[in-house]
Structure 1
């Protein structure tokens, strides 16, 4: 303890450049910590809700003339179809992006900008975001009914339930706010989704309703959650049965094509993206280089002071200091420097 106290007292001592040492370490540790935090944030994307490790996004895999293509969107009936055929699927939902940066005109003529997504009544069963006002399943079962996030509700102000708004591209159609949910966090692929509109609104806003389509109109993003202890590869026989019952497989094979589905853990959809993987590697290398450089600068300053410090330690030995005392002094100083950094 005395060595640590003496290390603090010796910080302003001339010739040892203690503040420069601490500054080198502090900069390296600070910037490296920020980069490491960013890497951790990227690698824990979509892990904010219970059951994230059992939540899968459905992908379409089509092959034609030997070429295989994967799409992150499916037809409208696929999600509930997989749930119907596979007993290990706890719940399934489909979403459809509706309007980006929509200018929602309220009854008091105020305009609120929001991103609008359509979802079926099971959406909050898969993504159990906290409901602040209203019952999600009931609201998302009603045509032209929607739920808004807490941030947008705060922007509008007051009791938002029961308020109506219109969109410029859909004249004559009035949407009703019937609930409020807690805004999605930053580490979510659904972040910045401010309004969730009932999927049953499709016939009122589009001339075509593809919710029951087994093939074609691939504009839906579909999700499922498996029961505990089950894996996605167990779904294959059930998916094959679903394909045989509802897809024109014979006609497709005659044309040299095939059509199936793949399942990816939702968090992996983001983290396995080639760009994200490349950036994670680059950031990791940068963090290591910065940390290594700061430590090397610290060591170089120590080496530069070696002649003066060797004289000091020689004097200490003359006064009876043992090797363990010298080591304790050096390690105490290093500990203080790292702690302050």
Structure 2
């Protein structure tokens, strides 16, 4: 019987080629669009969950009172991790991670600025990154070593077979490559190409033993079955005895929430990018719903042609269940064709989607869970899209349909009108939303920013370049390469220094203020009269 259902369903679809093409292509576009959005949402929600102990890893955020509110930031003292591990038994391991946006490296005639991080000996006990070659044993024993990612090895040496080779750091510090890490996955907040050991960081001045230095990101790995309320309370006020000028609390942010839920308002987490992700999931549901409603409307529009077939089959003894099964079989065959076409579109458009999102979203074609989920998704879509037409067409009464009076049934037609209203309303919402978002992005990209973006260059300076900065500046100006040059300690678009404790004339406080000030240091040539439209900021 089931085989007969599918045979009749296939014949009906082949006979109605125009109807089948419109329905299949419409559903395929809806399924492909929804799948892309859901893959992106899944990618966003998977950030840093690939670590084996991700459910027990927390990042410690610093919180201090500012203007009667609580200000939260992700940096903490470099000495915090070792102190926590010694004093709080619920912590299995604690590690400090000091990111440096760019460090200059040289190998033969190559000179590159690469994202670098300084890590202590507990780093790989907390984060089990995959090694392509070597291990971190000698890395922490010798302060003149480095760990490179595969991409960094290719950029510097042109190969990954580089264990034992030497690269030159700023100030002519030679580093031996002790291990190669596999490239970091795209779904991680960590962003480094080279790792340097803690002792070398101290020697270079990037690591301090003072509690007033907030340059590190501190992570802890709690013990299994540790009582959350107990260790959270201990951590909260841990820094009070060490920093007496202001009471700084610590907030443990779960690693899995670091990417999407790291917005704070007055000391409490208040959403973050998760709002955007959930909004796009709703868009995917809306997109798929529109495609399903379009299928329903096209199917019910054909009800006049199918009514006589229903009447004859009922007269010859067909039950309503058999008719519902027949129409659902047609819907499942159609959605299967749509799913196959959607899968082809996903495969072809995947590189363009990655370019659009700016991320390397993994297409898990080799994973069984993807195919199981996709087949379930397609079958559910077929049942959802085919349910209303199946129940509507099977409800026709044989006498009325054979007389041609089935159109007097108003219930189906009224539902169809509701579906049309929902479909067009959803489409209008998507069009208006897309237009508004496009205009906002266009405004952000093309608004007046106070400088000519096409002629602005920013670069980080190494220690050697810092010492020779006056000569470099003079050379660039003399040769006409630049019309104006200025040095700052941070990019103009990202001032990264804040401070408090300032006093001023008429100040009546206790010697320290709770107001935070964004500080920015620059040379005199940063701001130029309107006729100068080019300058370069260097740190």
Find the aligned partners of 1:15 and 1:318 in 2 and give their Cα distance. Answer: 28
User: For residues 158-211 of structure 1, what are the alpha-carbon distances to aligned partners after superposition, in whole Å with 9 as ceiling and x for unaligned?
Assistant: 5211222235xx232223211112222111111x422111121124323x640x
Classify 1:301/1:47 alpha carbon distance in 2 versus 1 (closer, same or farther; 3 Å): same
User: Structure 1 residue 296 and structure 2 residue 296: aligned?
Assistant: no
- Single out whichever of 300-309 and 322-331 deviates more from structure 2: 322-331
Q: 1:10 aligns to what SS in structure 2?
A: helix
- Do the aligned partners of 2:240 and 2:248 also contact (CA within 8 Å) in 1? no
Find the aligned partners of 1:137 and 1:121 in 2 and give their Cα distance. Answer: 9
Q: 2:162 aligns to what SS in structure 1?
A: coil
Q: How many residues align?
A: 326
Once the 2 structures are TM-superposed, how far is the Cα of residue 137 of structure 1 from its aligned partner? 4.0
User: Structure 1 residue 13 and structure 2 residue 9: aligned?
Assistant: no
User: For residues 212-251 of structure 1, what are the alpha-carbon distances to aligned partners after superposition, in whole Å with 9 as ceiling and x for unaligned?
Assistant: 22x2110101101001112443224544784355332xxx
Find the aligned partners of 1:63 and 1:323 in 2 and give their Cα distance. Answer: 70
**Highest RCO, 1 vs 2 (Cα 8 Å, sep ≥ 6):** 1
Classify 1:113/1:54 alpha carbon distance in 2 versus 1 (closer, same or farther; 3 Å): same
Looking at secondary structure, tell me which structure has more strand per residue.
1
- Do the aligned partners of 1:16 and 1:305 also contact (CA within 8 Å) in 2? no
- Give the alignment partner of residue 243 of structure 1, picking from 239, 243, 246: 239
Once the 2 structures are TM-superposed, how far is the Cα of residue 264 of structure 1 from its aligned partner? 1.0
Classify 1:82/1:72 alpha carbon distance in 2 versus 1 (closer, same or farther; 3 Å): same
Find the aligned partners of 2:70 and 2:238 in 1 and give their Cα distance. Answer: 21
Equivalent position of 2:248 in the other structure: 259
Q: 2:273 aligns to what SS in structure 1?
A: helix
TM-score calculated relative to the size of structure 1 = 0.87
Gapped regions of structure 2 (runs ≥ 5)? 263-270, 339-539
User: For residues 254-295 of structure 1, what are the alpha-carbon distances to aligned partners after superposition, in whole Å with 9 as ceiling and x for unaligned?
Assistant: xxx422211111111212144412211320221111011001
Classify 1:81/1:225 alpha carbon distance in 2 versus 1 (closer, same or farther; 3 Å): same
- Do the aligned partners of 1:85 and 1:238 also contact (CA within 8 Å) in 2? no
Find the aligned partners of 2:186 and 2:91 in 1 and give their Cα distance. Answer: 28
User: Structure 1 residue 199 and structure 2 residue 201: aligned?
Assistant: no
Classify 1:241/1:305 alpha carbon distance in 2 versus 1 (closer, same or farther; 3 Å): closer
Gapped regions of structure 1 (runs ≥ 5)? none
Equivalent position of 2:72 in the other structure: 70
Rg comparison, structure with higher value: 2
Find the aligned partners of 1:318 and 1:158 in 2 and give their Cα distance. Answer: 76
**TM-align CA RMSD:** 2.3
Classify 1:141/1:56 alpha carbon distance in 2 versus 1 (closer, same or farther; 3 Å): farther
Equivalent position of 1:96 in the other structure: 98
- Do the aligned partners of 1:120 and 1:141 also contact (CA within 8 Å) in 2? no
User: Structure 1 residue 115 and structure 2 residue 112: aligned?
Assistant: no
TM-score calculated relative to the size of structure 2 = 0.57
- Do the aligned partners of 1:146 and 1:196 also contact (CA within 8 Å) in 2? yes
Q: 2:298 aligns to what SS in structure 1?
A: helix
User: Structure 1 residue 286 and structure 2 residue 297: aligned?
Assistant: no
Find the aligned partners of 2:160 and 2:128 in 1 and give their Cα distance. Answer: 25
Equivalent position of 1:233 in the other structure: 229
- Do the aligned partners of 1:145 and 1:177 also contact (CA within 8 Å) in 2? yes
Equivalent position of 1:216 in the other structure: 212
